[in-house]
Structure 1
Amino acid sequence: MARTPVDVYRGLVKTQLGDGIQSQVDSVVARFTDCVFAGEKLSVHVTRFLRLTTRLNAYLNSRTTAGQPDVTLAVDLLDYLTSTSKWWTVTRQDPVLILRPASRDARSFIKSIADLNVGGNTLQRISAATEKLSGFLEEHEVGNQKEMENLCNDMLSTWVLLCAFACKSQGRNVTTEEDFETAYDTTRILLFYVDTNDYKALTAIRRLGTHPVLPLAARVAFSPGFEKKLNASVAANLERVHGDYLAELAVATSGASRSILTNSLRLLGQLQGVRQELERLEEEHYESIIIGSMEIIEGVGVSSDFLKDESSALTIFKGLRPAKGVDERIQLITRRLESLIVDATGNKDFLLQYARLVPRITALLLLLASKTKESPEAPLEDSDVKRGLILLYALISG
């Protein structure tokens, strides 16, 4: 267990909601005010869930007052639980939020749970769990009576919603005790196990995939002279000489990993092209673009030594070995980004026109992820990819 329950509960009780937070929550739940579920307005349940998870994010980031970033993360978590599938497979042994592409509209799905029937056994289990939690909070004097009552209500609504989400997602219309077990375990994992970067990654991938600079960058072209210089560069030569190390992730990344350095440099060049209002990068731009790329990477706290030092680049190549299951998770992230980009552009053919955009994003993501590893020799873990994703959004929006 990463966090002690009593410490988390105390932290939640002590965390205040900042100015404007409640109005933002109200704007999210307003569309659910006409729906009733489990003896309460659906909007009340969703409000309590958002209140709980907003405070959780603030607590995990050592803030005593929750602000705009915290409620944003809470809404992104709600979207994750309602727009994707298989979230209920998360375990205490592997407490990660797998970034899957959306399979349904989150808001419509939330409304649809009003049609579910909550089984009697489910209600009994929720009631018993709430009573047990109340006793635990009182025993440990977590807060005053009102604070503990509010926390119990927030937890109750969270269990109710997760029961319903799990039930509806699996095509059933009546909740079962198994749904409660799923809701109870998932809530504990969210509160006590999930790393803060997993929550941040939910927001990072959404903002990255919908960032207005990406479609603009995709349209920045390269002249033959620029391409010739890049293909003759140290980075390209390293990829050719040590290509065997890059093959393991090639399938999962549609070949993007084979050109991890040059693909990254192309995207960094396109981003600079947008900032400089250039439609095409010419041969004369090459040196300044490479220098600018190094500065951009270093601007998010990552060393650019791999562009100057062969041993550093080789360390990255050797470290691009995915840990078990990570290759599949990278594929899911790629699909999520693709769907977000298409939705943001409103053009379903956008990625057919600019097919190289996502492979370049993937390459830069892997590059940043590999540079955040605690041990360069260790396999690439899910946590590394999440850190890389957070850094990539910071880089894109910087």
Structure 2
Amino acid sequence: MARTPVDVYRGLVNTQLDDSTAEQINSVVSRFTDFVFAGEKLSIHLNRFLHLMTRLIALLDSETNVNHDHLTMSVDLLDYLTSASKWWTVSRQEPGIVLRPPSREARGFIKSITDLHVGGTTLQRISGATDKLSRFLEEHDIESSEEVEQFCNSMLSSWALLSAFACKGQGRNVATEADFETAYDVVRILLFYVELVDFKALTVVRQLGSHPLLPEAASVNFAPGFEKKLNASVAASLEKEYGEHLIHMAKATSGASRSILTNSLRFLGQLQAVKQGIERLEEEHYDSIIVGSLELIESAGVSSDFLQNDSAAILIFKNLQPGDGVDERIQLLIRRLEGLIVDSTGNKDFLLQYARLVPRLIALILLLASKTKEYPTSPIEDSDLKRGLILLHKIING
């Protein structure tokens, strides 16, 4: 267990949620005021869930007061739980949030649980768990107060909602005790196991995939002279010489990682071109673009030595190996980004016209992930991907 229950519960009770954030939560859930679920207005259950998750994310962020970013992450979590599938398969052994593309429309799905029948024994289990939690708090001197009562109600609503989401998400209309047990375990995993990077990644993948700079960057062209210089660069030579080390990762990324350095440089070049108002990168831009790429990478707190030191680049090739299950996570991330980009551009053919955009993004995510691993020789894990994703978003926003 990553965090102890008593510490989390005490931290949640003590985390402050100001009036402005409370009003924003009310605004988010107000559209569900006319719906009833499990004996309460659906909006009340959703309000409590968002209160709980916003406080949790603030706690993980080492903040005693919530801010707008914490609320945004909790709303993205709610969207994920109501639009994606299979989230209920998360386990304590693998607690990371899988960045799955949506399989349904979240708002309609939330409304649909009002048609769900929650059995009496299931409601009793939820009520019993709430009473047990209240006793636990009292036994550990987390004083009975308005905050404690609100916290217990938030847990009750979270169990009820996730029971319904898991049930409905699997195509059933009667929530059973098994659904409660799933919800109970998922809430425990969220509270005690899931790391802040997971919550951040849910928000960042949405922000990145819908970022207005992406379609602009994709439309920046490269002149033959620029391409010739890049193809003759040390980065390109290293890719050719050490490419065999990338076979496993290349399979996972549909080849995007095979040119991890030059793909990354191309996107960073396109990004700089957009910010400088350049529509086509010419040969004379090459040197300044490469220097600018180094600076962008450094701005994210990542060493750019791999573009200046052959041995550092070679280490990337040798150590860029996917961990167990990471190939599937990369494919899901690719699908998520593709869906967001198409939705944000409103052009279903956009990625047919700019097919190299997502592979370049994935290459740069992997590059940033590989350069910031805790153990340089360890395989790329899901948490590394998420960290690379967050760093890429930081670079684009810089």
Query: Counterparts of 1:349-388 in structure 2 under 5 Å?
Result: 349-388=349-388
> SS in structure 1 opposite 2:95?
coil
Q: CA deviation at 1:18?
A: 2.7
* Partner residue in 1 for 2:281: 281
User: Quick one: distance in 1 between partners of 2:227 and 2:337?
Assistant: 26
User: Quick one: distance in 1 between partners of 2:31 and 2:347?
Assistant: 28
* Partner residue in 2 for 1:30: 30
* Partner residue in 1 for 2:258: 258
Number of equivalences: 398
* Partner residue in 1 for 2:391: 391
Q: CA deviation at 1:295?
A: 0.2
Moved over 4 A (4+): none
* Partner residue in 2 for 1:83: 83
Query: Counterparts of 1:173-192 in structure 2 under 5 Å?
Result: 173-192=173-192
Q: Contact 1:299–1:395 (CA<8 Å) still a contact in 2?
A: yes
User: Quick one: distance in 2 between partners of 1:124 and 1:319?
Assistant: 52
* Partner residue in 2 for 1:322: 322
The 3 A distance-change label for structure 1 pair 269 and 177 is same
* Partner residue in 1 for 2:53: 53
Q: CA deviation at 1:145?
A: 2.4
Structure 1 vs Structure 2 CA RMSD: 0.7
* Partner residue in 2 for 1:104: 104
User: Quick one: distance in 1 between partners of 2:72 and 2:157?
Assistant: 19
> SS in structure 2 opposite 1:184?
helix
Q: Contact 1:10–1:143 (CA<8 Å) still a contact in 2?
A: no
User: Quick one: distance in 2 between partners of 1:291 and 1:105?
Assistant: 44
* Partner residue in 2 for 1:242: 242
> SS in structure 1 opposite 2:366?
helix
Query: Counterparts of 1:137-156 in structure 2 under 5 Å?
Result: 137-156=137-156
* Partner residue in 1 for 2:113: 113
* Partner residue in 1 for 2:172: 172
Q: Contact 1:213–1:274 (CA<8 Å) still a contact in 2?
A: yes
Q: CA deviation at 1:4?
A: 0.6
User: Quick one: distance in 2 between partners of 1:290 and 1:123?
Assistant: 61
Q: Contact 1:82–1:109 (CA<8 Å) still a contact in 2?
A: yes
> SS in structure 2 opposite 1:249?
helix
* Partner residue in 2 for 1:127: 127
* Partner residue in 2 for 1:193: 193
Q: CA deviation at 1:11?
A: 0.4
- Counterpart code for 1:212: P
Q: CA deviation at 1:252?
A: 1.7
Which structure 1 segments of 5+ residues have no match?
A: none
Percent identity for Structure 1 against Structure 2: 70
User: Quick one: distance in 1 between partners of 2:305 and 2:318?
Assistant: 16
Q: CA deviation at 1:250?
A: 1.2
Q: Contact 1:126–1:180 (CA<8 Å) still a contact in 2?
A: yes
> SS in structure 2 opposite 1:65?
coil
User: Quick one: distance in 2 between partners of 1:12 and 1:376?
Assistant: 35
Q: CA deviation at 1:310?
A: 1.0
User: Quick one: distance in 2 between partners of 1:251 and 1:176?
Assistant: 41
Q: CA deviation at 1:19?
A: 4.3
Q: Contact 1:5–1:192 (CA<8 Å) still a contact in 2?
A: yes
Q: Contact 1:13–1:143 (CA<8 Å) still a contact in 2?
A: no
> SS in structure 2 opposite 1:248?
helix
TM-score of the aligned structures, taking structure 1 as reference length: 0.99
